[in-house]
Structure 1
Amino acid sequence: MTSQAIFRAVVKRGVPARRKPQTGIIQMVGAGMLAIALVVGQVAPSAARGAPESFADLADKVSPAVVNITTSTTIAAPANGNPVFPEGSPFSDLFPELRGPQGGNNQPQHSNALGSGYVISEDGYIVTNNHVIENADSIEIEFFSGAHLPAKLIGTDPKTDVALLKVESDKPLPFVSFGNSDESRVGDWVMAMGNPLGQGFSVSAGIVSARNRELSGTYDDYLQTDAAINRGNSGGPLFNMDGQVIGMNTAILSPNGGSIGIGFSMASNVVSKVVDQLQKFGETRRGWLGVKIQDVTQDMADAMSLASAEGAMVTDVPEGPAADAGMKAGDIITSFDGGEVKHTRDLVRRVADAPVGEAVRVTVLRDGKSQTLLVTLGRRETAEGEAVPVAVTKPQDSEQDLLGMTIAPLTSDIAQQMSLPKDTKGLIVKEVDDSSAAWEKGLRPGDLITEANQLPVTSLSDLTDRVKETKEAGRKSLLLLIRRDGEPRFVGLPVEQ
C-alpha cells in the first residue's frame, strides 16, 4: 500500500511507524490487534491538583524507563517477479509494494517497524503493544541512555494488544510501576512518552478526556486522552503525575492519520493482569463460564417486572461449566464471586480475571427469585480452541452496490490474497464511487467492513438489515467498523445516498 493511501486512514488501533527499505519513508505498520510479577502496592487516591508549572521533573524521572523499539521482518519476494495476487485481481493495484518488477530476480526484503515500550522491572521485562512486534524476526531496544539491546519475546495477548519482552543486562535497569487506572478521573493531567514517527523519546501532555472507552475488543477498557499520540507511539506509557503507568498508548481517532487530540490508552488495570500471566506462564489463562449473554434492556426489564435494567441475561448455555452447575437460558446473572454485575462487561471482565479451576458463587435471578450456583470455571483459551460444528448457510450473493460502494462477502480466496487470518469475517469493499459520501469519509477498495452499528456483518443481508434498521429508527448515519491492514477505524456513513 502506498504511503499516500496509508496516510488517509481514519482510525488506527496501534500506531507504529514503518520505514521502507532504502527509502527512509515512514509508513504505518499493518496490525493484526496485567497484578504484574513485580507486586504493585495499592495506590492511595490522589488529591485534586492544579495545572503543573512544568512537566520537566516528571519527564526526567521516568524517561530512563521508556524505550524505543525497532523490529525487523523479512518479506518474501514473489517468485520470478510475478505479482503476489493473481493476474487481474482487483487488489493487485492496491498493494504495489507486494509486486516485484516483471522479469527481475527478486530478493527477500527487510522491513523495519518503529514503536515504543517501557521497562517494568530492573531485570529487563519490557511491555509494548502486540502489533508493534507481531511477526518480527528480530527486536531491538533503544534506551534513553543510547544503549541498544536485543530483546526476546516472552508472550503476547492479541485480545488486549499486549506483548511482554525481555532483555539481558549486566546491570539493573531503571523501571516504572503500574498505577491504578480505576482511580484516574476525567480531567486529571497525564503525560505520554514514546517514539512518534521515529523521532524518539518525545513527550506530550494533556488530560484524561474520558474513561471506559471500547473500540472492538472483548476486554477493551481505554482511557481517552488529548495528549498527542501519533504513529510510533504504540506501546508507550501514559503516566499520571506520580510517574505511574496508568495506560498504554494504543490507538488514535483521526481523519488524516495524525493526532487530533483523540487518543486511546489501554487501562493499566487491564495491562498489568495480562503482564502477570505472561510472566508466569508465557500465555494468558482466563476463566471461562460457558454462557452466551446480553445486556438487559429497559424493555426486557419492563416485560419481566424487574426493578431495574441491570444484569447479564443468559441467552444460551452450551455444554460447559455453567451448564454443569445448572444454569439455564433466561437466567439473569446479578453477581459473580461477590461482585455486582450491572451489565455484560462487568461479567466478562470478572470471569476473565478469575483463576481457572476456581469454584465461584454466581447469583442469578430466575422466575423472579434469586438463587446462587457454585460454578467451577474452565479455561477460555481451551474452550475457544475447540472445534465448532460447521453451520449450513444459504448461498450468498456475489456482490451488491450499497452506500456508494460495491461490496462482496469475504471469501477464503480473497482473505488469502490479502494475507488475512483464516477466521477473518466481514464484507470486502471492491469499488467506491468517488462522488459518494463513502469516498469522502475515506473508504477505499480493499477495506474490510466487520461491523455495522456495532453488530458483526458477515453477509450482504446483514449490512442491508443494519441500513434498514437505521432508517426505521430515524437515524441519519450508520456506524461502520472498517479494518485496513488489520487496523480498525470507525466511520459514520450517511444512509441516504
Structure 2
Amino acid sequence: MLRKMYQTWIAVACVALAFMSSARADELPDFTKLVKQAAPAVVNISTIKNVEYSSNGGMAIDPDDPALQQMPEIFRHFFGMQRGMPDNQGGGKILKREEPRSLGSGFIISSDGYILTNNHVVNGADEIVVRLNDRRELNAKLVGADPRSDLAVLKIDAHDLPTVKIGHSSSLEVGQWVVAIGSPFGFDYSVTKGIVSALGRSLSNDNYVPFIQTDVAINPGNSGGPLFNMDGEVVGINSQIYTRSGGFMGLSFAIPIDVAIDVANQLKDNGHVKRGWLGVLIQEVNRDLAESFGLDKAAGALVARVLPNSPAAQAGLKEGDVILAFDGKPINMSADLPHFVGRVKPGSVATMHIIRNGKEQDLDVTIGLLPDDETNILVDDHGNSTTNSAIMSVLHISVANLSDDEKTQAQVDNGVLVKQIEQGPAFSAGIQPGDVITLLNGKKVDSVSSLEEIVKKLPKGRSVPMQIVRKGSPIFLPLRLE
C-alpha cells in the first residue's frame, strides 16, 4: 500500500515539474523571428592598411623619428637601419603590402547603401570591405566619422538593400531584454542576448555619449553592430566592453541610437558634427559638498571653473554655482551635463536651473559651438592641464608647463611637470609628482598642449615608452593603456 502511494506521489511530482518547466519555457522570449527579420541588414566590416616594408624584410622607418634618435645603434641594425638611414638608402627597396587591419560589424540604415558602424572599426583604413548577408563583398567609401562619439557612416554602391528598423533608446528601461548581432572574432551573424543593466553611463574620455550598459556577450568583432529590442528595432550600437582578460566579462556598452542617428544625419549632410558648448569645468557633488551648498541630496554639477569668453561666462555663471537642471532635465550626476549640452544646437538658448549662495535661480545661456580642437580650452591661463583634458581622463595626472628656471633646475630643455597623480596608467607605470615628462611614445613633449595631442593618439592594449626626468636623471618607463 505504501509503495503504491509512493509511486503515485512520484508520478504527480513529475507531472508538476514538467508543467512548471513548460510554463517557465513559455515565459522566456523567443528570438528566432527577430533574428530572421533583422540579420539580413547586419554586415561584416574588414579593413586593409597599406604598410611599407623594406626589401630585406625590415619595416620602413623614418630616420627623423624622435624614437629612432633615442635608439641604440645595435637596435638600429636589428630594424634594418644603417646609422639612422632607411633601408632604401642602404641598398634595399621600399615595398608596400596590404595587411588586414581590423574586423567589425555594422548595419544598413538605408536601402541605397548607407551603413552605420564605429569609428574605431574603420579608423586609419586605406580600404574598407563590407560583406553582406548574401555573401557579396563590396568596397565602401567613408562618408564621415566622428571620433568623439566613435561613430562612422559608410556608403556602398548597391540598391534595394534590406534595412534595420530604427527604434528609440529614450524608451529603454533597465531590465529590458536586448539582442546583439555581429561578428565576434570573425564568426559572422553570431547572436547573443541579455538585459539592459543601466542607462546613461559615462565612461572615461567619452564625455558626449550616455552609454547603455548591458550584460549581452560582446567580444572583438561585435564593435559597430546593432543592439535590438524585442520589437526588432535598433536601440544601440555595441561599442565597448569592460574587461581585464581581453574578452567578455559581463559589462558591455552601447551608443544610444538616438545619439547615433543624430550624428549620422549630420555626417551625411555636412561631413562633420556640430555640438553645443557651455565652457565650464565641472566636478561631482558628493555628500559633504551637498551639505555645504545647502542641497538636500548629492546631485548636480558643481562649476569648478568658467572659461573666459565662453557662453557660460557671458550668461553670468560663476564658479561655485551648482547646476541642478539643464533645459528642464534634472542633473543627477555631473556627467549628465555634457550629454545634455552636446546635443543642443549651437546658437540655441537654454535655461539652467542653479543654486548660488543657498538660493535657487534660472539663467538663460546661448549655447556655443564646441571647438574642433579642444586642446586650447582644456589648458588654463597658466598652462596647467584641466580636469576635463585627455591627460587627466586617460593618464589620471595633472601637469603644468615648465618655467625657464624650472627647466634649469630639472636639467631639461623640454617637458611638463607632473603636479598630481591618481590611480591609473601613469601611477601603475611608476610616475610620481615632481617628475618631468620629456618623451611619450617616441614623441617630444614640449608643452601641456603637445602632451594632450600625444595622449589622444596613444594605442591601447600595448606598452609605449615614456621618458621622464627625476632628480636630474632620465628614466624610461613602460606606459600601458588597457
Output the TM-score relative to the length of structure 2: 0.70
The one-letter amino acid of 1:51's match is: L
Distance 1:133 1:350 in 2: 28
**What is the match of residue 339 of structure 1?**
329
User: Contact 2:441–2:465 (CA<8 Å) still a contact in 1?
Assistant: no
1:249-264 correspondence to structure 2 within 5 Å: 249-264=238-253
In 1, Cα distance between equivalents of 2:80 and 2:441: 15
What one-letter code is carried by the residue in structure 1 that aligns with 2:250?
Answer: G
Find the counterpart in structure 2 of residue 177 from structure 1. Answer: 165
Match among 210, 213, 218 for residue 201 of structure 2: 213
Counterpart position of 1:161: 150
Do 1:410 and 1:425's aligned partners in 2 also have CA atoms closer than 8 Å? no
Counterparts of 1:214 and 1:98 in 2: how far apart (Å)? 45
- Give distance in 2, aligned partners of 1:284 and 1:179: 22
Alignment of 1:170-319 (within 5 A): 171-216=159-204, 217-317=206-306, 318-319=308-309
Question: Larger deviation: 200-209 or 242-251?
Answer: 200-209
Deviations 1:369-407 (A, max 9, x none): 22222211110125737576672335579999x988555
Question: How far does residue 206 in structure 1 lie from its aligned partner after superposition?
Answer: 2.5
Residues 196-242 of structure 1: per-residue CA shift (max 9 Å, x gap): 22222222222333333333211243333333222211111111111
- Structure 1: gaps spanning 5 or more residues: 1-48, 430-441, 450-457, 462-481, 490-497
Q: Distance in 1 between matches of 2:362 and 2:211?
A: 32
Question: What does 1:428-439 correspond to in 2, within 5 Å?
Answer: none
The answer to whether residue 318 in structure 2 is matched with residue 328 in structure 1 is: yes
For 2:68, the equivalent position in structure 1 comes to 86
Could you tell me whether the CA contact under 8 Å between 1:73 and 1:135 is conserved in 2? yes
SS of structure 1 residue aligned to 2:104 = strand
**Match of 1:355?**
345
For the structure 1 residues 190 and 363, does the alpha-carbon distance in structure 2 shift closer, same or farther, using more than 3 Å as the test?
closer
Amino acid paired to 2:453: D
CA contact (8 A) 1:397 1:460 kept: no
The sequence identity of aligned pairs, in percent, is 38
Counterpart residue identity of residue 308, structure 1: K
Further displaced range: 383-392 or 245-254:
383-392
Q: 8 Å contact 1:415–1:424 — kept in the other structure?
A: no
Contact between 2:199 and 2:213, CA under 8 Å: does it hold in 1?
Answer: yes
Which position in structure 1 is the counterpart of 2:28?
51
Question: Structure 2: how far apart are the matches of 1:342 and 1:336?
Answer: 11
Q: CA deviation at 1:331?
A: 1.7
Output the amino acid matched with 2:176. D
Aligned partner of 1:64 in structure 2 is 40
Q: Secondary structure at the match of 2:253?
A: strand
- Whether the 8 Å CA contact 1:162–1:271 is kept in 2: the answer is yes
In structure 1, distance between residues paired with 2:329 and 2:262: 18
1: CA distance, partners of 2:220 / 2:79: 20
- Contact in 2 for aligned 1:362/1:374 (Cα 8 Å): yes
Closer, same or farther: CA 310–409 of 1 in aligned 2, 3 Å: same
Residues 428-487 of structure 1 show CA distances to partners (whole Å, capped at 9, x for unaligned) of: 99xxxxxxxxxxxx99743889xxxxxxxx9999xxxxxxxxxxxxxxxxxxxx985xxx
Return the letter of the residue paired with 2:284: D
CA separation in 1, counterparts of 2:437 and 2:160? 50
- Aligned match of 1:423: 453
* Structure 1 Cα separation of the partners of residues 363 and 246 of structure 2: 49
Q: Which residue of 1 aligns with 2:95?
A: 107
Q: CA deviation at 1:359?
A: 1.7
Counting matched residue pairs gives: 390
Q: Who is 2:15 aligned against?
A: none
Work out the CA distance in 2 between the residues paired with 1:310 and 1:422. Answer: 30
Give the alignment partner of residue 119 of structure 1, picking from 108, 122, 127.
108
Instruction: Tell which has more relative contact order, 1 or 2 (C-alpha 8 A, sep 6+).
Output: 1
Distance in 1, matches of 2:125 and 2:300, equals 42
Matched, 1:141 2:136: no
Aligned to 2:464: 446
- Counterpart of 2:355 in 1: which secondary structure? strand
* Residue in structure 2 matched with residue 414 of structure 1 by the alignment: 441
Matched residue of 2:317: which SS?
coil
Matched letter for residue 344 of structure 1: S
When residues 382 and 240 of structure 1 are mapped into structure 2, their CA distance, relative to the original with a 3 A threshold, is same
Q: Which residue of 2 aligns with 1:28?
A: none
Which residue is 1:467 aligned to? none
Distance of 1:167 and 1:97 partners within structure 2: 39
Pair 1:255–1:188, CA change in 2 (3 A):
same
What value does the CA root-mean-square deviation take over the aligned residues? Answer: 4.0
The structure whose Rg is larger is: 2
Gaps of 5+ in 2: 1-25, 62-66, 384-400, 419-425, 445-449, 472-477
| Pair 304,119 (structure 1): closer, same or farther in 2 beyond 3 Å | same
Structure 1 position 283, deviation (Å): 0.9
Separation in structure 1 between the aligned mates of residue 351 and residue 429 of structure 2, nearest angstrom:
50
Question: Match of 1:351, SS?
Answer: helix
Contact 1:416 1:422 in 2 (8 A): no
Shift of 1:159: 1.4
**Secondary structure of the structure 2 residue equivalent to 1:141:** strand
- Does the 8 Å CA contact 1:412/1:422 hold for their aligned counterparts? no
Task: Indicate conservation of the 8 Å contact 1:334/1:365, yes or no.
Answer: yes
1:180 to 1:306, Cα distance in 2 relative to 1, 3 A: same
The two structures have a TM-score, normalised by structure 1, of 0.68
Aligned to 1:75: 51
1:51 touches 1:189 (CA, 8 Å); kept in 2? no
What amino acid maps onto 1:269 in structure 2? D
Aligned to 1:473: none
Cα distance, 1:286 vs structure 2: 0.5
In structure 2, how many angstroms separate the alpha carbons of the residues matched to 1:331 and 1:371? 10
Tell me: CA distance 1:267–1:421, structure 2 relative to 1, closer, same or farther (3 Å): farther
